[in-house]
């Protein structure tokens, strides 16, 4: 299994359970690891044979910016589902960091893995 990764993707969105959070945009940070087989793309040098990380990035930005979930768990689950379904990814590890959610901590969030390694 090969992995295509994307780190430190910062997106502004409405996220949170408190009334004040529902009125502002906050930054969430996504880190993605997605299983794929890069050998076909490496041989052909054709983006059609690759997991197009730019397309994944654009889709994540569009989805997250438009979302208004209360929980980071829900946002993470939906993002992982989109990646697996729309980009034919069998396994994804997604880290969603809600910077500043806890004043005494630099980072807070969730890490989820969905699917199976091949």
CB 7 within 8 A of CB 31: yes
- Please tell me what DSSP assigns to residue 15: -
C-alpha 63/C-alpha 81 separation (Å) is: 12
CB 30 within 8 A of CB 96: yes
C-alpha 97/C-alpha 95 separation (Å) is: 6
The residues annotated with a catalytic role in the active site are 98
């Amino acid at each position: 299994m090969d992995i295509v990764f994307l780190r430190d993707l910062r997106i502004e969105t409405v996220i949170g359970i408190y009334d004040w959070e529902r009125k502002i945009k906050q930054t969430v940070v996504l880190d993605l690891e997605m299983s794929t087989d890069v050998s076909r793309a490496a041989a052909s040098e054709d983006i059609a044979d690759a997991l197009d990380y730019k397309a994944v990035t654009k889709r994540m930005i569009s989805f997250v910016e438009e979302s208004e979930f209360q929980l980071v768990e829900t946002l993470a689950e939906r993002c992982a589902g989109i990646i697996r379904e729309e980009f034919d990814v069998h396994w994804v590890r997604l880290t969603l960091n809600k910077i500043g959610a806890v004043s005494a901590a630099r980072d807070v969030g969730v890490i989820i893995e969905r699917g199976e390694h091949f």
